């Protein structure tokens, strides 16, 4: 099988994440995409991050209708800071015969040199960086494949700001995520 791994904070998961995963799945002919929410993101300040269990539940609700999407709690169960190399090693044990594609956004290129065990990461997966038309990237390492996708312009940060300010965010996240955020009163 060809498996895409899409890691992130997903704070919250939104339409842009789903579009990104689906477009890359189709363009690279992946059999599935596994969303992997971090427990504690190592490169982000952890203020205003919803509990990991809530972020996991929102992803599960958001992808329920897509049989090609799955979610893994590998980083949540591990607890502590999440490093890609540790996650990929565990996922490789779970899917030993799969050809694995690590999917990320173009913002990755800003701090790739700070990654733990980058050489080993590159040996385990094929790197795929999602790009947006009109935003060309420079100095892309040879081991990275770029895939142009059409995603929404809103970020998870902007969605959290809408929630905090009492503004509508209804169509920026899937309906089950919208209901979950409101029920649990997240990001207020």
* Domains of the chain with CATH codes: 2-152 (3.40.50.620)
Q: Give per-residue pLDDT as tens, 32-62.
A: 999 999 998 766 666 789 999 999 999 999 9
Contact yes or no for 169/34 (Cβ under 8 A): no
Tell me the pTM. Answer: 0.89
Half-sphere exposure of 186 (CA within 13 A, CB side): 27
Encoded tokens for 111: 């701090």
97, 93, 130: which is closest to 7 by C-alpha?
Answer: 130
pLDDT in tens, 143-186: 999 998 876 667 899 999 999 999 999 989 999 999 999 999 99
Chain-centroid distance, C-alpha 123: 20
Q: Where does residue 38 rank: exposed (0-12), middle (13-18), buried (19+ CB within 10 A)?
A: buried
Bigger pLDDT: 93 vs 152: 93
Helices (H), ranges, the chain: 15-27, 52-63, 74-78, 84-94, 118-124, 156-165, 175-184
**Helices within 28-139 (DSSP H only):** 52-63, 74-78, 84-94, 118-124
**What are the structure tokens assigned to 108, written together?**
């990755």
109-129 mean pLDDT: 89
Residue 109 has pLDDT above 90, yes or no: no
Which pLDDT tens digit goes with each residue over 63-86?
A: 999 999 999 999 999 988 878 999
Residue 80, Cβ neighbours under 10 Å: how many? 10
Ramachandran angles phi, psi of 70, nearest 5°: -140, 165
**72 by DSSP, 3-state: which?**
coil
Length of the chain, please? Answer: 188
């Amino acid at each position: 099988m060809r498996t895409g791994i899409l890691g992130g904070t997903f704070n919250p998961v939104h339409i842009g994440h789903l579009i990104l995963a689906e477009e890359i799945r189709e363009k690279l002919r992946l059999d599935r995409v596994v969303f992997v929410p971090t427990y504690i993101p190592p490169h982000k300040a952890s203020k205003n991050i919803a509990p990991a269990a809530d972020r996991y539940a929102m992803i599960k609700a958001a992808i329920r209708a897509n049989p090609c999407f799955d979610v893994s709690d590998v980083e949540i169960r591990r607890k502590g800071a999440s490093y890609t190399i540790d996650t990929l090693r565990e996922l490789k044990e779970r899917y030993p015969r799969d050809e694995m594609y690590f999917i990320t956004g173009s913002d990755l290129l800003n701090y790739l040199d700070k990654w733990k065990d980058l050489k080993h990461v590159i040996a385990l997966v094929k790197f795929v960086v999602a790009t947006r038309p009109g935003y060309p990237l420079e100095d892309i390492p040879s081991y990275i494949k770029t895939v142009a996708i059409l995603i929404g312009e809103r970020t998870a940060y902007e969605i959290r700001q809408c929630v905090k300010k009492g503004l509508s965010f209804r169509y920026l996240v899937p309906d089950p995520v919208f209901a979950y955020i409101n029920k649990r009163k997240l990001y207020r």
